[in-house]
Amino acid sequence: MAEAIERIARVGADERLVGVVTLPAKPRPGAPGLLLMNAGVVHRIGPHRFNVKLARAVAEDGITSIRIDLSGLGDSPNATDASHSGQQAIRDLQAAMDHLERHHGIRRFVVFGLCSGAVNGYRLALADERIAGLQMFDGYVYPTWKTHIVRRLVRFRALPWSALARKLVQRLSGQRPVRVLELGEGSDDTHLGIPTRPEFAQSMQALITRGTSVYLAYSGSFLETHNYTGQLRDAFAGAMFLDHVRYDFMPDVDHTMTSLAAQRKVIAATRDWIQSVAAEASARTGTTLASTSGAGSTGRSIQESFSPP
């Protein structure tokens, strides 16, 4: 089987941002390109090299990808102006899309974001109509009353019996105040720039209406805020977008995919979703196999590329 090729990408008007493009040996005609970025402060390879592994996996499906360091992260320098980091991230990702369009003829994109990357992906999708698919892994969370019950139940089950007995004695003797559960607490942190439930629902609906595919995936690392299958449906009961987004709660996968099994699971799910986005794009445009994505047209020197085995 022919191998993918990887190339250095200097992204942006002044080629300030550092990235790597993975070009499939057999590009899927009309398929969107995949955008990958930093999660937190981890450089472009992603936590546990996840971005590299995902990029090479989707290349087997004919998907071109770029993984970049956003301004001030990894090997990319800080932005030259003092703009808000969220706005800068959108500009950086748009520059990455411009790069793939200019060098490889790709005009539609899917974006995978983990944690802070999910927030960046969300903002990008709303700001730029070239985004055909948005995957938010551990993005915004909206707890329900059931979330709080599940959390307490899970914590209760995990306690050793001695600790349980001690807590009971404390409660009965009045040493520990009983906390009154407030429905929906901690869910709408507008002061942090986190969208409220109505805002999030409105954004999801806008993306769906526009034809952007959305995949919301949650790990098992956030017992406090997202802890059962179906939480999204409960949190947004009756919202129209629910029937049109892909949603997964993966309790056996942690936030940064520490185990190889977790990495494989998320990569398989992401590949499947991107394939469906690509299929939709093909159906919509009537793309034929005779067309090409223009991969390999950069003319970069061999010293800037390699073929991953």
Partner 1 sequence: MFPSFFGPSDRPLFGIYHPPADHAPADRAVLLCNPFGQEAVRGHRIFRVLATRLVRERIPVLRFDYHGTGDSPGSDEDGDLAGWTGDVRVALQELVARSGVSRVVCVGVRLGAALALRGAGGLPETMRLVLWDPVVDGASYLEQLRHKHVEALESTFSVADPAWRASLANDPAAFTSEAIGFALSERLRGQMRELSPQLLRAPDGADIHVLAHPSDARVGEWIASPSLRAARSSHWPIDEPFDWTASQRPGSPIVPAPALSRLMATISG
Interacting residues with partner 1 (CB under 8 A): 6, 8, 10, 18, 20, 40-45, 47-50, 52-53, 56, 74-75, 116, 154-155, 158, 220-224, 227, 254-260, 263, 302-309
The closest alpha carbon to 269, from 282, 284, 252, belongs to: 252
In whole angstroms, the minimum distance from the beta carbon of 243 to partner 1 comes to 29
The closest alpha carbon to 1, from 23, 25, 22, 20, belongs to: 25
In whole angstroms, the minimum distance from the beta carbon of 24 to partner 1 comes to 15
The closest alpha carbon to 7, from 18, 57, 15, belongs to: 18
In whole angstroms, the minimum distance from the beta carbon of 286 to partner 1 comes to 36
Nearest CB to partner 1, comparing residues 30 and 47: 47
In whole angstroms, the minimum distance from the beta carbon of 250 to partner 1 comes to 12
Query: Long-range contacts of range 194-202, CB-CB < 8 Å, 24 or more positions apart?
Result: 194/140, 195/140, 197/142, 197/235, 197/236, 200/140, 200/142, 200/236, 201/236, 201/239, 201/241
The closest alpha carbon to 133, from 210, 202, 219, belongs to: 210
> What separation in angstroms does the CA of 295 have from each of 4, 27, 144, 274?
10, 7, 46, 18
305: left (phi over 0), alpha (psi -120 to 50) or beta: beta
Amino acid sitting at position 286: G
Nearest CB to partner 1, comparing residues 25 and 126: 25
In whole angstroms, the minimum distance from the beta carbon of 10 to partner 1 comes to 8
In whole angstroms, the minimum distance from the beta carbon of 226 to partner 1 comes to 10
Nearest CB to partner 1, comparing residues 103 and 130: 103
Nearest CB to partner 1, comparing residues 3 and 234: 3
Give the pairing of strands 65-68 and 33-36: parallel
In whole angstroms, the minimum distance from the beta carbon of 81 to partner 1 comes to 20
Nearest CB to partner 1, comparing residues 33 and 133: 33
In whole angstroms, the minimum distance from the beta carbon of 202 to partner 1 comes to 28
Nearest CB to partner 1, comparing residues 69 and 201: 69
74 Cβ contact partners less than 8 Å away, ≥ 6 residues apart: 18, 38, 42, 43, 44
Nearest CB to partner 1, comparing residues 60 and 280: 60
Structure tokens at 218: 């949650």
The closest alpha carbon to 59, from 15, 23, 19, belongs to: 23
The closest alpha carbon to 2, from 295, 277, 302, 303, belongs to: 295
Nearest CB to partner 1, comparing residues 212 and 298: 298
CB-count burial class (<10 Å; 0-12, 13-18, 19+) for 289: exposed
